[in-house]
Structure 1
Amino acid sequence: MVAEFMLVFVALPVLFAFVKVPGGPIPILLLLTVVVAFYVRRARDFDRRDLWRASALRPALPSILRLWALAAVVAVAAVLLFDREHLFDLPRRNPALWALIVVAYPVVSVYPQELLFRAFLLHRYARLFRGERAAAAASAVSFGLAHLLFGNPVAVVLTLLGGWLFARRYQRTRSLLTACVEHAAYGLLIFTVGLGRFFYHGTHFAS
């Protein structure tokens, strides 16, 4: 079990960072999503209601929105102070691509990542960690490592923080939908305020 975790969530992300894979990360992510989806459907001890549980979203929204609003203010201020020319550059310069990301990103990128790094990881490898916080930390670190392929520390640091936030949200709500909504909100914030280039890989995007 330890070897499997290290292979999937440590070795493969590090390999991606140093080996250029044709097509970028999205095709591999979607392939892993299919494998993981098959696993969670077959695992008898996995509660498949955790993959949606819409009833958990509304109670969590006030907390999600408060933290997101604070992050939005910080993100806009940071870009304004340190990289003003890129502030809101994607919606300003390429509104069609921005609109496509708004529509496609939650489905093509967010849900597969949450399925892999939250639902799958936190269930299959739970016995490897002492308590939920340790498991959430493992999820966060794995999520950060998966973004090494973008070749910059900004992507790794932001996804490390985001990975912790999304893992704890999933643990508290047992709702992958709720974690996905939060993940999508931060990802779209990144692509909107001018930080998207740190998460851009060829013609593919992820966060």
Structure 2
Amino acid sequence: MTVDTGVGSRKTWLTVEFVVLFLGVAVLYAVFLRGVGPLPFLLVVAGGVVVYLRHTGFDRRDFWRPEALRAALPGMLAVWAIAAVGLGIAVAVLRPASLFDLPRERPLLWVLVLVFYPLVSVYPQELLFRAFLFHRYAPVFGDGTRMVAASAAAFGIAHLMFGSWLSVLLSTAAGFLFAERYRRTRSLLTVSVEHALYGCLVFTIGLGEFFYHGAAG
């Protein structure tokens, strides 16, 4: 039996690249740039990701697929409603002073977050952690549960920049949900809507300080 050394070398290289990009960069950012807003960096990276995907055989229908959103939306909203109740109770019990703190204390900022966060932050994140990651690292992780786990882990680790274990924990859990949604639908629009729902929820419910330096009072 012969071994395809070319395939093996590519998988090894991609594995190293994955660790460097999604663990190494996240740790370096958390150590040296904590407190620096990541949005400009994210937008530049997202632009590069779009160029890469458009020239490497990525199915461009996956950028949107609105029909997938229509089919998935009822289930998404049902799970989101359960999560909203659970998070609301948790914040009310464990952090009562923080419950709805952003809309109560800084309503203009809250409205701006609800409007601009889905547009300038969510979709670029999904381009990187779902479309790019699924497309480039398929030779390493396949397209099933290992890929979902890799995407969720990368997404959670990226939130080290906020300096809280809760940021990483909640983001990893959300990352599993978003990655599985993308695996099933191959629709960046669908997973971005779901991501935006949860993001706007945490900013509203009183957990914004764990995901955005300017959300706290």
Q: Which category describes the TM-score, using the shorter chain as reference length?
A: over 0.9
Which of 179, 184, 188 is the aligned partner of 1:176?
Answer: 188
Give the 4+ runs in structure 1 shifted more than 4 A. none
- Aligned counterpart, 1:70: 82
- The structure with the larger Rg is 2
| Partner AA of 2:79 in structure 1 | L
- CA drift at 1:130: 4.3
Q: How many residues align?
A: 203
* Structure 1: tracts of 5 or more residues without a match: none
* Structure 2: tracts of 5 or more residues without a match: 1-13
Alpha carbons 2:134, 2:143 under 8 Å: kept: no
- Aligned counterpart, 1:163: 175
Give the whole-Å Cα distance in 2 for the aligned partners of 1:137 and 1:103: 30
Alpha carbons 1:53, 1:176 under 8 Å: kept: yes
Structure 1 residue 53 and structure 2 residue 65: aligned? yes
Which of 204, 209, 212 is the aligned partner of 1:192?
Answer: 204
Give the whole-Å Cα distance in 1 for the aligned partners of 2:173 and 2:65: 24
Mapping for residues 133-172 of structure 1, pairs under 5 Å = 133-172=145-184
Alpha carbons 2:143, 2:183 under 8 Å: kept: no
TM-score (structure 1 length as normaliser): 0.94
Deviations 1:112-161 (A, max 9, x none): 00000000001110110144110010000000000001000111001001
The structure-2 alpha-carbon separation of the partners of 1:74 and 1:117, relative to structure 1 and needing over 3 Å to count, comes to: same
| Partner AA of 1:93 in structure 2 | E
Q: Which moved more, 1:29-38 or 1:19-28?
A: 19-28
- Aligned counterpart, 2:20: 7
- Aligned counterpart, 1:114: 126
Alpha carbons 1:33, 1:112 under 8 Å: kept: yes
Structure 1 residue 102 and structure 2 residue 114: aligned? yes
Give the whole-Å Cα distance in 2 for the aligned partners of 1:67 and 1:13: 29
Alignment identity in percent?
54
The structure-2 alpha-carbon separation of the partners of 1:89 and 1:13, relative to structure 1 and needing over 3 Å to count, comes to: same
